[in-house]
């Protein structure tokens, strides 16, 4: 959005340079007197901002320092995030964003996305017109009902789209002006929030049924009409809506569900890396999931896709994946299963003890996507170590408090033999004189590169095959030196390189499936690089 002069420029985050404006620019743009004498480089500003960030007393204060910086100066914010990804990504997203969402209303400091309300029905397109940027290409959309492992956060869930989009920019170089966070505020079942005098959302039970479906459909139609080809990422919808909405819109809109497909892709990639350590092929695995919701079944679908890619039929592929939900093992004899669980029900005895399932089923891997902190108990971990020389344990629930086990517990109770990954970051673990660096199965490895590749190819549809291609490419980027220290993903310091490679793989898959509107160029890498935004100051002139 074009700025005018003086304070108008300083309030435009895409144009503001703060103390980097030259003396000539200050005079020409009416900035004299509004800035101190120093004329600084972006590098000097970055050093100061980093020192200010590190001086904050806790991660929550660090988050809001960064949020304020982003609101004031996009370029400096992303320069800081891209230059110190390992340190800052956990602050702008998991695990810190969980607490931020819980306190979102009490810390609210101004608009940072669009809140679409039921009273906007019939004129959602008109509301979208209020967004100042005219070239939106990526939307992250939530209704706040299942935020991380924290449950219904209502309008407070806006922290998730804001955080995810900052990773699109930092990891894949999506231009921040192309991004739009959206919360469909349809109410909340969280009585604590509805009774909180500071809650900023609708104080009513959630919209349900046909009214809800019509509301979402109007938004999807309005967004695609206003911004043709826009990519819409569903984020943190509850199970009863997530699967249904994905199936309803995936063939008509450019959309995907990160909790289902993104989580599945990043977990599959980590699993493929783990198999390089065990030396056993995918077809010899038996995977037991704790949880049977979006994330768990999404991972199962990706693992099954991997088996099919190797030439196995659907039934054989699915037979490797077993699920354990809040009531017990998901088996065919149960009559309480909904559709997305029924598809994964196995023949077998109904068992209500997770440890007992491990001892009877003898899985090679357990994958946690349950939101049940500490569910991988010492006994569970010890049982996995008894059965497997190198047990695979992925504790993927977020935030950290919801992780099924810590990295330290995983190494301790398997005598250091575990191949471990987690959803939230854990510090290095020393075991028996050896240092291990736990791998973080962060969806940021996948979705930014997916988005960049889809935009480059001008994709018409997002397919599971594209996520499978992304998973394979990510696994290929894990170096032997990473595996040696226990890491099944590349270090976050390489995330920009990783995202570029994934974007290329996804774009190629889009052309392969005949779903691209862009003509394939001779140099795909050059095409994608040309789209990448870098944190450099724009000309100060409006």
As annotated, the active-site residues are: 93, 164
Alpha-carbon distance of 379 to 353, in angstroms, equals 12
**Which letter does DSSP use for residue 493 in this model?**
G
Output the CA–CA distances (angstroms, integers) from residue 420 to 46, 128, 157, 476, in the order listed.
Answer: 35, 43, 29, 18
Quick check: 331 and 346 in contact, CB under 8 A?
A: yes
Strand residue runs (E) in 305-351:
321-324
Take residue 391 and report the two structure tokens written for it: 């047990």
Take residue 521 and report the two structure tokens written for it: 């160029």
Quick check: 237 and 184 in contact, CB under 8 A?
A: no
Angle 83-88-94 from CA coordinates, rounded to 5°: 140
Residue 95, preceding bond cis, omega within 30 degrees?
Answer: yes
**Which letter does DSSP use for residue 198 in this model?**
T
Rg of the chain in Å (alpha carbons): 23
Take residue 287 and report the two structure tokens written for it: 């995977």
Quick check: 336 and 328 in contact, CB under 8 A?
A: no
Alpha-carbon distance of 9 to 18, in angstroms, equals 9
**Which letter does DSSP use for residue 320 in this model?**
T
DSSP labels for 28-82?
Answer: HTT-TTTS-S----HHHHHHHHHHHHHTSSSHHHHHHHHHHHHHH-HHHHHHHHH
Q: How far is CA 511 from the centre of its chain?
A: 25
3-state class of 343 per DSSP? Answer: coil
Beta bridge partners of 476: none
Task: Report helix, strand and coil shares of the chain as percent, to nearest 5.
Answer: 50, 10, 40
Angle 95-398-274 from CA coordinates, rounded to 5°: 105
Alpha-carbon distance of 477 to 299, in angstroms, equals 20
Residues 6+ apart with CB under 8 A from 99: 59, 60, 399
Tell the residue number behind the tokens 């996995």, with chain if given. Answer: 384
């Amino acid at each position: 959005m074009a700025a005018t002069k003086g304070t108008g420029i300083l309030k435009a985050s895409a144009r503001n340079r703060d103390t980097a404006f030259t003396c000539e620019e200050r005079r020409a743009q009416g900035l004299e007197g509004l800035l101190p004498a120093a004329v600084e480089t972006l590098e000097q500003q970055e050093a100061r901002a980093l020192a200010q960030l590190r001086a904050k007393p806790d991660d929550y204060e660090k988050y809001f320092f960064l949020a304020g910086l982003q609101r004031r100066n996009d370029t400096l914010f992303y320069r800081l995030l891209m230059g110190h990804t390992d340190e800052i990504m956990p602050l702008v997203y998991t695990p810190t964003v969980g607490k931020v969402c819980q306190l979102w209303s009490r810390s609210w400091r101004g608009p940072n996305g669009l809140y679409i309300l039921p009273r906007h029905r019939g004129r959602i397109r008109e509301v979208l017109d209020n967004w100042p940027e005219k070239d939106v290409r990526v939307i992250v959309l939530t209704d706040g009902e299942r935020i991380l492992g924290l449950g219904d956060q209502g309008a407070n869930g806006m922290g998730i789209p804001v955080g995810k989009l900052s990773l699109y920019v930092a990891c894949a170089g999506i231009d921040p002006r192309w991004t739009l966070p959206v919360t469909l505020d349809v109410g909340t079942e969280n009585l604590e929030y509805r009774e909180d005098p500071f809650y900023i959302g609708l104080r009513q039970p959630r919209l349900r049924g046909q009214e809800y479906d019509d509301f979402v459909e109007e938004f999807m139609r309005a967004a695609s009409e206003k911004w043709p080809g826009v990519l819409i990422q569903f984020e943190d919808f509850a199970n009863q809506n997530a699967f249904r909405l994905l199936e309803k819109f995936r063939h008509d809109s450019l959309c995907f569900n990160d909790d289902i497909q993104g989580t599945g892709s990043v977990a599959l990639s980590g699993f493929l890396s783990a198999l390089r350590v065990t030396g056993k092929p995918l077809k010899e695995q038996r995977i037991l999931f704790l949880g049977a919701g979006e994330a768990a079944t999404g991972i199962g679908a990706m693992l099954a896709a991997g088996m099919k890619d190797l030439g196995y039929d659907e039934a054989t592929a699915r037979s490797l994946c077993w699920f354990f939900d809040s009531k017990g093992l998901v088996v065919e004899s149960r009559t309480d299963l909904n559709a997305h669980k029924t598809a994964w029900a196995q023949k077998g005895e109904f068992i209500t003890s997770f440890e007992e399932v491990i001892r009877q089923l003898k899985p090679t891997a357990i994958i946690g996507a349950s939101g049940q902190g500490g569910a991988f108990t010492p006994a569970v971990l010890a049982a996995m170590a008894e059965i497997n020389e190198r047990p695979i344990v992925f504790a993927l629930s977020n935030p950290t408090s919801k992780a099924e086990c810590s990295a330290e517990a995983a190494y301790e109770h398997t005598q250091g033999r575990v191949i471990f990954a987690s959803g939230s970051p854990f510090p290095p673990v020393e075991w028996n004189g050896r240092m291990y660096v736990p791998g973080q199965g962060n969806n940021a490895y996948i979705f930014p590169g997916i988005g960049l590749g889809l935009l480059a190819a001008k994709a018409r549809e997002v397919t599971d095959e594209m996520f499978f291609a992304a998973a394979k490419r990510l696994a290929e980027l894990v170096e032997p030196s990473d595996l040696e220290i226990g890491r099944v993903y590349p270090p976050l310091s390489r995330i920009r390189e990783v995202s570029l490679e994934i974007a290329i793989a996804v774009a190629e898959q889009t052309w392969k499936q005949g779903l691209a509107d862009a003509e394939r160029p001779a140099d795909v890498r050059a095409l994608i690089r040309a789209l990448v935004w870098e944190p450099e100051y724009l000309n100060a002139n409006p």
